[in-house]
Amino acid sequence: MTSAARAKRRSPSEAVADRVAGIGWERAESDLDAQGWAVLPKLLQAEECERTSRLYDEDPLFRSRIVMARHGFGQGEYKYFAYPLPPLVAELRESLYPHLAPIANRWHEAMGLPVRFPAKHAEFVKRCHAAGQTRPT
């Protein structure tokens, strides 16, 4: 079976998880350490970006809209999704978290902060909810 045929048989979440697994995580971690951000090439396909950007006009999907100038943050605006999250966003969170949590834990250790992030995203969400943070951010 060709890789294209295998890709068609995978669920969208498997495809996202495969792309996340294929990220050069050593480079991403190095970039995060050096500059606080990293580019993750080919994480999303063009149609996924287009489909997700079209969600911005669907106000019922969002719990909050922030106008940056109103808060002295500059120009523009951003929105926070409400639950349930769009499937792609939820899949990205679930797939990226296990790679990012160890980096965050290393940073916390370096800063002398005692809090550590759990290994699984579901455990992190559970911790947040127990602490009263029940809205997605």
Written as six digits, the tokens of 34 are 């050096």
pLDDT interval class at 61 (50, 70, 90): very high
Condensed to tens digits (0 to 9), the pLDDT of residues 80-113 reads 999 999 999 999 999 999 999 999 999 999 999 9
Condensed to tens digits (0 to 9), the pLDDT of residues 15-44 reads 999 999 999 999 999 999 999 999 999 999
Mean of per-residue pLDDT scores for the chain: 92
Mutual angle of helices 87-110 and 121-130, in 10-degree steps: 80
Q: Are strands 77-81 and 62-67 parallel, antiparallel or unpaired?
A: antiparallel
pTM of structure:
0.83
Distance CA 17, CA 94 (A): 9
Query: Cβ distance 97 to 19 under 8 Å?
Result: no
